[in-house]
Amino acid sequence: MSIEIGMKHTVELTVAPENTAKVVGSGELEVFATPMMAALMEKAAYMAIAPSLPEGDSSVGCELKISHVSATPVGMTVRAEAEVTAVEGKMIHYSVKAYDERGLIGEGTHVRALVHSDRFLERTNNK
């Protein structure tokens, strides 16, 4: 496994009604929901390192600190970017940013932990 500082990934989605604050329950307006932006950022982060992980290993999100600085309407495309900024043992640190067609809408940091999928699920299911 070789996870290195600078590894990046970008994901996009077109904001649909099911991605709005009104539908996901984080507000009452029909704008791109903060929880959906967070999920898109996490997807970019996990995909940045997924090809480098051995079969049977994965990563799980354990910390996300973000700001959501601009609203995005339904129909506009949102792009989330994640870049590895540090590797500390099993902990992978990222810079995350999200943009719509007009510019920056959110940014922050994210930490993911490397796990062995089967052992992780076994411990979780034995709660």
pLDDT digits (tens, 9 = 90+) for 32-83: 999 999 999 999 999 999 999 999 999 999 999 999 999 999 999 999 999 9
- pLDDT of res. 1: 57
Active site residue 109: no
d(CA 27, CA 25): 6
Q: Please report which helix (H) or strand (E) contains residue 119, including its range.
A: helix 117-125
Active site residue 18: no
Catalytic one of 18, 55, 63, 68 = 68
Catalytic one of 9, 34, 72, 83 = 34
Catalytic one of 42, 72, 81, 83 = 42
Active site residue 68: yes
Q: What percent of the chain is predicted at pLDDT more than 90?
A: 98
Average pLDDT of the chain to the nearest whole number:
97
